[in-house]
């Protein structure tokens, strides 16, 4: 099909890595126009945790459409929205002792982030937001200012302001707790870091390279925020909805963030849907202050409710994700022990994992080789150096093994052709001055 080259913008990205025309999908499988089958370890960048065309939600959605249910409702009260809210409250929030108000934003993750930052700034009357190295929060201007990636930031066309950058967990090495640095600069009126309204953070950085913060670090971050009257915003757009094994990625850390952004797999069926959750006392919006035409995607409310009813009424799904995550972790450990001359490393938690292949050239060769063998898998990280394992959570054990086998063979083949595998840079060794 030439039409994509003829009139679709150069801004395309995933289409370049996977240059086929896809026309069918089921569970963890995608099919192209020529009838070729692919295992999908990309999963709509985290939107398809429950797989493509999940039959449980499909039937519900078809029935809703056949009954002439509301499709679009601005922010009006609809039956579908009410039922989603009830289910979300009863099965997700209450069992976790989370008391949150739900704000429906425009249906993209970046819009939920915009709303959270705006609300935090208005509540605290402060402009500055602390964001972290390698963080990714979206590409609209407010969210982009909190995003680290220079490729995305470079396209802004205006200065990106109102944020200060702090080192994420592990950024300065395993032995340094970077929340101590944050604590120091917030305690020092001469640090040059303006007192922030909020801190925004991912518990596992997805686009930034599958960097998983430790639970201790998250708890310390929470403490620093509380001590300095700064709001803690967890951006759970990619890590949430079960990806790490629990519904919210911060549950195991035992923290209760002031605000949470959710999108991607929230709608369940790949339908656009985003929300911000915040503590009731933070609900200081005036009517319509943050609006948007598409805040009432009722199809997404229907499938989101079905997803929660089916997968989150008990802990069976959560246990299954953790079990599969352990299997992926074991396989990744075995792969890095065999290939990469000891320079590769495994990263992440739950079903949110990756292999650091040191540079983007190597990782790109590996994912290309995978694609030739029927596996769709992407890279992430500052240099695209991480091979990112992001299959639907509902994947069968058989296909999970098959996908990992394809990656293992790809790594074996690519590494065999390399003269040597580069070592990961130790920045502190490089810059240390000998006296
Ligand atoms: C953590 C996080 N926040 C925000 C976003 C932005 O979401 P969207 O692309 O839907 O605007 C993403 C997208 O990948 C993300 O991973």
DSSP letters for 387-428: EEE---TT--HHHHHHHHHHHHHHHHHHHHH-S-PPPPP-HH
- Asked whether 207 lines ligand 1 (CB < 6 A), one says yes
Distance CA 205, CA 236 (A): 10
pLDDT of residue 245: 98
pLDDT of residue 425: 81
Spatial contact of 222 and 215, defined as CB atoms under 8 Å apart: no
pLDDT of residue 50: 98
pTM: 0.97
Structure tokens given for 294: 């598409």
pLDDT of residue 424: 85
Distance CA 298, CA 186 (A): 43
- The model's confidence at residue 352, banded by pLDDT at 50, 70 and 90, is very high
Inform me whether the pLDDT recorded for 432 exceeds 90.
Answer: no
β-pairing, 259-262 with 275-278? antiparallel
- Asked whether 272 lines ligand 1 (CB < 6 A), one says no
Looking at ligand 1, which atom is closest to the CA of residue 110? 11
- Asked whether 255 lines ligand 1 (CB < 6 A), one says no
Task: Give per-residue pLDDT as tens, 233-261.
Answer: 999 999 999 999 999 999 999 999 999 99
Where does 298-386 have alpha helices with state H?
298-311, 316-338, 360-372
In angstroms, the Cα distances linking 227 to 185, 251, 320 are 13, 21, 37
Q: Which residue has the higher pLDDT, 426 or 413?
A: 413
Distance CA 251, CA 255 (A): 7
Kindly state the DSSP code that residue 281 receives in the 8-state scheme. Answer: G
Distance CA 273, CA 55 (A): 20
Task: Give per-residue pLDDT as tens, 115-134.
Answer: 999 999 999 999 999 999 99
Distance CA 48, CA 38 (A): 15
Mean pLDDT, all residues of the chain: 97
Sign of the four-CA dihedral 109, 111, 116, 117: positive
Distance CA 17, CA 325 (A): 26
Task: Give per-residue pLDDT as tens, 170-202.
Answer: 999 999 999 999 999 999 999 999 999 999 999
79-92 burial code (b ≥16 CB/10 A, e <16): ebbebbbebbeebb
Task: Give per-residue pLDDT as tens, 310-351.
Answer: 999 999 999 999 999 999 999 999 999 999 999 999 999 999
- Asked whether 237 lines ligand 1 (CB < 6 A), one says yes
23 exposure class (CB count in 10 Å sphere: 0-12, 13-18, 19+): exposed
pLDDT of residue 433: 64
Instruction: Map residue 434 onto helix, strand or coil.
Output: coil
Beta-strand ranges (E) seen in 129-207 are 129-132, 163-166, 198-201, 204-205
Spatial contact of 368 and 2, defined as CB atoms under 8 Å apart: no
Looking at ligand 1, which atom is closest to the CA of residue 138? 6
- Asked whether 40 lines ligand 1 (CB < 6 A), one says no
Q: Report CA(112)–ligand 1 centroid distance (Å).
A: 9
- The model's confidence at residue 434, banded by pLDDT at 50, 70 and 90, is low
Alpha-carbon torsion, ordered 336, 381, 239, 144, to 10 deg: 170
Structure tokens given for 260: 């949470």
pLDDT of residue 1: 78
Ligand 1 probe mutation, 109, 135, 292, most atoms within 8 A of CB = 109
Average of per-residue pLDDT across 80-102: 98
Distance CA 374, CA 366 (A): 13
Give me the residue label for tokens 């302001």.
Answer: 161
Spatial contact of 272 and 265, defined as CB atoms under 8 Å apart: no
pLDDT of residue 428: 75
Instruction: Specify the DSSP element, H or E, that contains 50.
Output: none
Inform me whether the pLDDT recorded for 429 exceeds 80.
Answer: no
Average of per-residue pLDDT across 64-92: 98
Of the candidates 168, 163, 146, 147, the one whose C-alpha atom is nearest the C-alpha of residue 217 is: 168
pLDDT of residue 293: 96
CA 101 to chain centre: 22
């Amino acid at each position: 099909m030439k039409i994509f080259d003829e009139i679709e913008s150069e801004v395309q990205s995933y289409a370049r890595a996977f240059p086929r025309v896809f026309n069918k999908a089921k569970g963890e499988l995608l099919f192209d126009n020529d009838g070729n089958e692919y295992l999908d370890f990309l999963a709509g960048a985290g939107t398809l945790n429950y797989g493509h065309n999940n039959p449980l939600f499909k039937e519900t959605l078809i029935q809703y459409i056949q009954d002439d249910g509301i499709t679009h409702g601005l922010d009006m009260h609809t039956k579908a929205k009410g039922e989603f809210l009830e289910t979300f409250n009863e099965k997700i929030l209450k069992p976790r002792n989370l008391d949150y108000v739900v704000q429906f934003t425009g249906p993209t993750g970046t819009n939920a982030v915009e709303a959270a930052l705006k609300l935090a700034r208005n509540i605290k009357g402060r402009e500055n937001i602390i964001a972290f190295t390698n963080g990714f929060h979206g590409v609209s201007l407010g969210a982009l200012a909190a995003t680290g990636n220079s490729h995305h930031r470079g396209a802004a066309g205006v200065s990106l302001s109102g944020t200060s950058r702090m080192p994420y967990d592990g950024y300065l090495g395993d032995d340094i707790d970077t929340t101590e640095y944050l604590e120091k600069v917030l305690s020092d009126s001469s640090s040059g870091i303006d007192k922030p309204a909020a801190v925004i953070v991912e518990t596992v950085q997805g686009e930034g390279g599958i960097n998983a913060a430790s639970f201790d670090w998250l708890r310390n971050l929470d403490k620093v925020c509380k001590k300095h009257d700064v709001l803690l915003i967890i951006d759970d757009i990619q890590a949430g909805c079960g990806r790490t094994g629990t519904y919210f990625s911060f549950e195991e850390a035992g923290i209760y963030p002031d605000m949470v952004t959710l999108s991607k797999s929230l709608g369940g069926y790949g339908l656009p849907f985003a929300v911000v959750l915040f503590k009731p006392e933070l609900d200081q919006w005036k009517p319509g202050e943050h609006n948007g035409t598409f805040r009432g995607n009722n199809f997404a409310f229907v499938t989101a409710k079905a997803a929660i009813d089916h997968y989150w009424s008990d802990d069976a799904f959560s246990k299954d994700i953790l079990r599969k995550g352990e299997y992926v972790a074991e396989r990744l450990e075995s792969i890095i022990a065999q290939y990469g001359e000891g320079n590769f490393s495994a990263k992440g938690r739950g079903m949110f994992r990756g292999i650091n292949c040191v540079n983007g050239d190597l990782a790109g060769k590996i994912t290309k080789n995978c694609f030739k063998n029927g596996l769709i898998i992407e890279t992430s990280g500052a240099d695209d150096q991480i091979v990112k394992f992001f299959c639907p959570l509902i994947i069968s054990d058989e296909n999970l093994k098959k996908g990992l086998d394809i990656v293992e063979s790809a790594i074996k083949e690519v590494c065999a052709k390399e003269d040597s595998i580069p070592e990961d840079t130790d920045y502190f060794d490089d810059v240390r001055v000998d006296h």
